[in-house]
Amino acid sequence: MSRTFKAFSMNPKVQFPTQFPGAKDGASGHPQGPRLHPWMGPWFVPLSALWYAILATRHALYNWGLLRSERSLIPTLVVGNMELGGTGKTPHVMDLANRLEARLGEGRVGILSRGYGRRSASSFAWVADATGWTDVGDEPWMMQAHTPTIPVAVCTDRLAGLRKMRHDKPELKVVVLDDGLQHRKLRPHASVALVSRAVPRLGLGSLVPAGPWRDLPRRLFQADAIVATQRGVDLGPNEKTMGATTVVLEPLKRLHGMQDEAGPALLVTGIANPQRLVRSLGGHDVAGVAHYPDHHAFSEADVLAWRQWGETHGIRALLVCSKDAVRLKPLLDKLPGWTCWEAPMGLRWNDEARLNAWLDSWARSLP
């Protein structure tokens, strides 16, 4: 079925080619933060109450010392959130790791990730030794590509992973963990909590599955630093607040094809919160958007659907973010005559002086 798609604009909203198999119907450029998942709602409050009791009991057992927390021998900075995905952990991890490397020196900072979506979920692996992204996960592979002087490793067991990193690279002075605020077995040396929405007072009806919070909202303020990742999130007067960050679009990179300039393109996303990317592309001619689930494994069938849509609408360009580019690169030869552009995303801190002061103080305290 032929459909006409308007060029990208914030008003009216982007139209989404939902005829693509596996694509989702949601996502817009709405500026007020990520939407709830469609299956969430107040009818799940009884289940959320049960989850609240489980979380409260678990945290109490750790706080009372009945369950053991261990601090690794190598200093750690955990970057995480209390919500379901989409708060931008990965760009914050890379940004903070780069800032620490500038203070401590090359080869002194590492990154440890769980490696979601990889083939072997339990074993430790250095990303630089992997043969492809499926061995370590798309996000660690992307982080290693964008931070080549910072060794990136993956391991589900954070403590075991940290021990292995220290054994293999004793010169490391600090490891930044991608996610891990809920991993209470590890007691981090410092922690940064990211938040993309207003913090509820009680949180019972905000916990999954009724809402988007996967942990007790009050635990947000137990972190050493708190960062708002969406505009309009008011954290109130709090000495731990590091201000807010804005995702900014960096110059496009041509991944495939011969086209010198980015013309009308099909934007393809497979990330948890595409709204941030959509907002950043306001100056580009986006003819349509296909949003797939987070970590979606793109297939030849997906590429064929894009080609057919492109032939119908006269579009021969693809636009993807850096994480999606990792999973899409092996399929780019299936798009003859197309040009694929990568849209790298960076961070802008609205109170960089405060962040730098906090990092300077913490870096000086490291052994």
Q: Where are the domains of the chain?
A: 68-247+350-365, 251-343
Q: How does residue 15 score in pLDDT terms, banded at 50, 70 and 90?
A: very low
| Domain 68-247+350-365 identical in fold to domain 251-343 | yes
Q: What is the mean pLDDT of residues 152-170?
A: 97
pLDDT, greater one: 268 or 249: 268
Which residue's structure tokens are 């972190």?
223
% of the chain exceeding 70 in pLDDT = 86
Q: Which pairs count as long-range contacts for 6-13, CB under 8 Å and 24+ apart, including other chains?
A: 7/264, 7/285, 7/286, 7/287, 8/267, 8/278, 8/281, 8/282, 8/284, 8/285, 8/286, 8/287, 9/282, 10/279, 10/282
Is the domain 251-343 a CATH 3.30.420 member? no
Q: What is the mean pLDDT of residues 164-188?
A: 96
Fold of 68-247+350-365: Rossmann fold (3.40.50)
Is the pLDDT score of 241 beyond 60?
Answer: yes
Q: What is the mean pLDDT of residues 72-87?
A: 90
* Helices and strands counted in the chain (H then E): 9, 14
Degrees to nearest 5, angle at CA 243 with 241 and 244: 130
Whole-model pTM: value is: 0.86
Q: How does residue 236 score in pLDDT terms, banded at 50, 70 and 90?
A: confident
